[in-house]
Structure 1
């Protein structure tokens, strides 16, 4: 390989790592916090505490994950604005995202009663699980405006290639959450309500810190931009809003399909018993730990590919993709090895309830397998976010959800029932989910290499 090519690859790898490592460190704090929440509640004397907080968290998180389009669209648009070196365009992207986030958060507060009633009815579970889930949600719902605004700010900072700022903001939020978790639950004895209250305070702390950072760092010399009527009028421009909502519509559909699968896993686990739903809560936190880590490379791809598209540098796209692919494979293998060697120990550290620990270890093999078969969908999602081609992400997710996940579950769930293998019904859930992840990567990869890369990508 010529020396200049090696220099280009090394420079590109440094850029990827400079974006990915802060994102990996910050992303991992989210599932780590979930593991701490699970561990704190898991050491209470009954499984229904953990089951209730898990169901309640899933119902609230369903909204924030469903609104993941705010983060993805903001990242892609902000990165392209950076490539075009348009400060005004980047400001419009931020303000429009915050406006939409605030409106959605307030709507959720107003509609909380019917949403909670429907969600708990769908969730099922024991009376105790339902009771503690409701306790959790009654507190967490008030943090949604802040949580959604934080999603927008984090996406915007990533799109502006400020991964370190994202890292420190998430570390701050999760450190506050962790400290208050221990204080409220272990010291004050607030149980499930303590976990919810800790998250509520952390979300508003993050909102204040994030806005303060952006105003100080980016607008200390141009604070007048926020009072510029011409600029603010562009935020509400009907034509631009139409394009914005079209992009977000496709990401929303994509995210809704993903959320349907996650919620189905939680709700179906609840119907299999308190110990199963508690065990699945531990494993899903492991999965989140894996996904947020792999998303670090995907986040780097989003920012770099978005900037390249904004600058019209099409020649860089294939090279960025190749290097990000190699890093993704490396991280996936490391994750599989970690859980193969230490998965049982991790479970024992999270819960002291023997029945829950035994159940979780039964399904640990799926967690060992998932990084390798699922890493592709994370990477390719990042590519399409950077290109703001949400329509392809939408189509892939629809196929994986309705033509892979649910058919696999129906077939194997019924087969295990007919064979009187009731103990394997949870395996049917994890098998279906693994097929779902594999299908996402396969469909996105097919389109990327067969349809997208052979064609010139326009700005």
Structure 2
């Protein structure tokens, strides 16, 4: 079997289950929406407001998965499974500490947070109820993120897929029982999700604890390990926050353009997000593979895997772009009968299609550099790309370029990210080998 074929099999072995797990995650809230929708419009609106708050929290906390993946994968590559699992345990303890802190701080702020999102008087009490109960599931939700990172670092994306599917199934069953059977209203939906999240977290804790016992790794929290995990995640948090700013500003600008524009933007963005799950699966494979090879000190294999994954990213982007072009004439009719929204969506989907190959490169290189532990560079360059996006979005808005202009600003943002990531990937500064990135750098400097 050729080297390229072996690389392809390794990439797909990690990426395909990762894609399934990524798609399963949003089904939590989708199933909630379907069941809560039977209660009434106000209840569904309350779920929508609370879901946005929770989605933001999950989005900002994804560093728990990414940072843990990179750190554990390096130790695996270096042949020290015990240290890798120990590092993963520290990441899970950090997730629990952050989760408990979020509950303590968030509960008193629930009324204020709901008001910030402008909930109406009818929606407000339901949003508060769902949010207040759902906060108790946050520690488990963050432990799931960290536990997912541990297993990805151990080159296992199948167990996260099984846990995601199992969690979704349990969530669906409990929501149906609590809301439709016991008539607990929106509170029943929230409790069903909290219990499903807690069950998923328990599975991860059991799996990691069993691995720790097998390899002689301790399970108690270690202050030095917690500090290391927090330090590794800080730059990724900045990166993620910068990405979130672009998403929030994009929605805000579209909303100010008009009702037809925000409706078309919402549909176009959902198409973008769906395809992003597939590309993000390649990024997850990139994190795990890059971390392992760098831990093993095998720079040539890192280079070869990087080239191969970029090919996959571009190829996937081209396929997705062609797919969008094929369905573009009739896709808008599935979502709306408004001719203005259809017209705007057809124009927007053209830009979305053209950007898919660029997105493929960006997602892959972003994942590879996360796997390399190059968080500081990612934080700075993501901030730079965001700074490029913000004035472009405002300029196109003031110039009345409508929704195509906004998507053009997003395209400029993606091109900036591709350029900065590509420059980094072509260089050698990110190729720091060894079980621990900072130690390897110090050793190299000393030499």
User: Which TM-score band (shorter chain)?
Assistant: 0.7 to 0.9
Q: Could you tell me which residue of structure 2 aligns to residue 413 of structure 1?
A: 397
Provide the rounded CA distance (Å) in 1 between the counterparts of 2:99 and 2:54. 11
Match runs of 1:262-341 below 5 Å: 262-266=247-251, 280-341=265-326
Tell me the TM-score normalised to structure 1 length: 0.81
Assess, with a 3 A threshold, how the Cα gap between structure 1 residues 50 and 98 changes in structure 2: closer, same or farther. Answer: same
Aligned counterpart for 1:447 among listed residues 424, 431, 436: 424
Provide the rounded CA distance (Å) in 2 between the counterparts of 1:279 and 1:129. 24
Aligned counterpart for 1:7 among listed residues 2, 7, 13: 2
Name structure 1 gaps, 5 residues minimum.
1-5
What is the CA deviation profile of residues 384-434 of structure 1, one whole-angstrom value per residue up to 9, with x for unaligned ones?
Answer: 1111110111011101112x2211121112222xxxx8xx3x555444333
Provide the rounded CA distance (Å) in 2 between the counterparts of 1:44 and 1:299. 38
Assess, with a 3 A threshold, how the Cα gap between structure 1 residues 276 and 27 changes in structure 2: closer, same or farther. Answer: same
Residues 20 and 300 in structure 1, CA contact (< 8 A), matched pair in contact too: yes
Q: Could you tell me which residue of structure 2 aligns to residue 171 of structure 1?
A: 165
Match runs of 1:8-407 below 5 Å: 8-31=3-26, 52-113=46-107, 115-117=109-111, 119-124=113-118, 132-180=126-174, 196-216=190-210, 218-219=211-212, 221=214, 225-226=217-218, 232=220, 235-237=222-224, 241-266=226-251, 280-342=265-327, 358=341, 361=345, 363-402=348-387, 404-407=388-391
Residues 51 and 277 in structure 1, CA contact (< 8 A), matched pair in contact too: no
**Pairwise CA distance, 1:82:** 0.3
Residues 32 and 289 in structure 1, CA contact (< 8 A), matched pair in contact too: no
Provide the rounded CA distance (Å) in 2 between the counterparts of 1:344 and 1:212. 49
Provide the rounded CA distance (Å) in 1 between the counterparts of 2:238 and 2:284. 20
Provide the rounded CA distance (Å) in 1 between the counterparts of 2:124 and 2:326. 36
Provide the rounded CA distance (Å) in 2 between the counterparts of 1:356 and 1:452. 52
**Pairwise CA distance, 1:263:** 3.1
Residues 136 and 192 in structure 1, CA contact (< 8 A), matched pair in contact too: yes
Count residues with an aligned counterpart: 433
Provide the rounded CA distance (Å) in 1 between the counterparts of 2:40 and 2:338. 12
Residues 94 and 152 in structure 1, CA contact (< 8 A), matched pair in contact too: yes
What is the CA deviation profile of residues 217-252 of structure 1, one whole-angstrom value per residue up to 9, with x for unaligned ones?
Answer: x24645x6436xxxx47x222xx5544333211111
Residues 337 and 368 in structure 1, CA contact (< 8 A), matched pair in contact too: yes
**Pairwise CA distance, 1:254:** 0.7
Provide the rounded CA distance (Å) in 2 between the counterparts of 1:191 and 1:429. 39
What is the CA deviation profile of residues 202-225 of structure 1, one whole-angstrom value per residue up to 9, with x for unaligned ones?
Answer: 211211222233334x24645x64
Q: Could you tell me which residue of structure 2 aligns to residue 3 of structure 1?
A: none
Residues 93 and 226 in structure 2, CA contact (< 8 A), matched pair in contact too: no
Provide the rounded CA distance (Å) in 2 between the counterparts of 1:188 and 1:438. 52
What is the CA deviation profile of residues 105-139 of structure 1, one whole-angstrom value per residue up to 9, with x for unaligned ones?
Answer: 11111122565455445434655565554444223
Residues 40 and 182 in structure 1, CA contact (< 8 A), matched pair in contact too: yes
Helix, strand or coil: the match of 1:373? helix
**Pairwise CA distance, 1:265:** 3.8
Residues 82 and 212 in structure 2, CA contact (< 8 A), matched pair in contact too: no
Provide the rounded CA distance (Å) in 2 between the counterparts of 1:306 and 1:57. 33
Q: Could you tell me which residue of structure 1 aligns to residue 410 of structure 2?
A: 433
Residues 125 and 270 in structure 1, CA contact (< 8 A), matched pair in contact too: no
**Pairwise CA distance, 1:285:** 3.6
Residues 65 and 146 in structure 2, CA contact (< 8 A), matched pair in contact too: yes
Tell me the TM-score normalised to structure 2 length: 0.83
What is the CA deviation profile of residues 11-67 of structure 1, one whole-angstrom value per residue up to 9, with x for unaligned ones?
Answer: 121111111111122222234555555666778875x76665444222112112111
What is the CA deviation profile of residues 67-113 of structure 1, one whole-angstrom value per residue up to 9, with x for unaligned ones?
Answer: 11111110000000101121221122122111111111111111225
Assess, with a 3 A threshold, how the Cα gap between structure 1 residues 368 and 199 changes in structure 2: closer, same or farther. Answer: farther
Assess, with a 3 A threshold, how the Cα gap between structure 1 residues 103 and 33 changes in structure 2: closer, same or farther. Answer: closer
